[in-house]
Structure 1
Amino acid sequence: MSEIKTVGILGAGKVGIVLAQLALAAHYNVRISGSGSVQKIALTIDTLVPGATAATNQGVISKSDLIILAIPLSRYKNINPKLLKGKLVIDAMNYWWETDGIREEVLDPLSTSSEQVQKYFNKSTIVKTFNHMGYHNLQEEARPAGTENRKALFVTGDNPEAVDQVAKFVDSMGFDTVVHYHLADGIMTEPGSALFGASLTRSDLKNVIDHFDETEFGKRIRANQEI
Structure 2
Amino acid sequence: MTLTIGIIGSGLVGKAVAHLATAAGYNVVISNSRGPDSLAGLITELGSRARAGTVDEAIAAADIVSLAIPLANFETLPADKLVGKVVIDQTNYYPGIGDFRRADLDNGELTSSELVQKHLWGSKVVKGIHNIGWIHMQHNARPVGDAERTTLPIAGDDRDAKDAVARFIEAVGYNVVDAGSLEDSWRIEPNTPIYFWPYAPAIAPSLSDAEAKKVYQQPGTPIAPEKARQLIRKAERPSPIGGTLEGMPPIHIALFLELASANTLKK
- Pick the TM interval, shorter chain: 0.7 to 0.9
> Which of 18, 40, 43 is the equivalent residue of 2:41?
43
Listed as ranges, the matches of 1:26-175 within 5 Å are 26-47=24-45, 49-51=46-48, 52-97=50-95, 99-104=97-102, 107=105, 109=107, 110-175=109-174
- Aligned pair 1:203/2:202, yes or no? no
Indicate the residue corresponding to 1:225 in structure 2: none
**d(CA) in 1 for partners of 2:86, 2:174:** 20
Aligned residue pairs, count: 215
Give CA deviations for 1:120-150 in whole Å, capped at 9, x if unaligned.
1010000010010111111101000111131
1:100 to 1:157, Cα distance in 2 relative to 1, 3 A: farther
- Is the CA contact (8 Å cut-off) linking 1:73 and 1:100 kept in structure 2? no
Give CA deviations for 1:151-206 in whole Å, capped at 9, x if unaligned.
11001101112112211111001000111341122211212222221323323221
**d(CA) in 2 for partners of 1:41, 1:154:** 30
The farther-off stretch of 49-58 and 97-106 is 97-106
**d(CA) in 2 for partners of 1:185, 1:11:** 26
Indicate the residue corresponding to 1:212 in structure 2: 235
Give CA deviations for 1:40-62 in whole Å, capped at 9, x if unaligned.
12233324x23311100011111
What percent identity do the matched residue pairs reach? 34
- Is the CA contact (8 Å cut-off) linking 2:79 and 2:119 kept in structure 1? yes
1:99 to 1:106, Cα distance in 2 relative to 1, 3 A: farther
**d(CA) in 2 for partners of 1:4, 1:183:** 28
Structure 1 unaligned regions, length at least 5: 222-227
Indicate the residue corresponding to 1:224 in structure 2: none
Letter in 1 for 2:162: V
**d(CA) in 1 for partners of 2:55, 2:230:** 38
Indicate the residue corresponding to 1:21 in structure 2: 19
Give the alignment's TM-score, normalised by structure 1.
Answer: 0.87
Rg larger in structure: 2
Q: CA RMSD in A?
A: 2.1
Residue 33 of structure 2 aligns to a residue whose secondary structure is: coil
Structure 2 unaligned regions, length at least 5: 200-222, 242-267
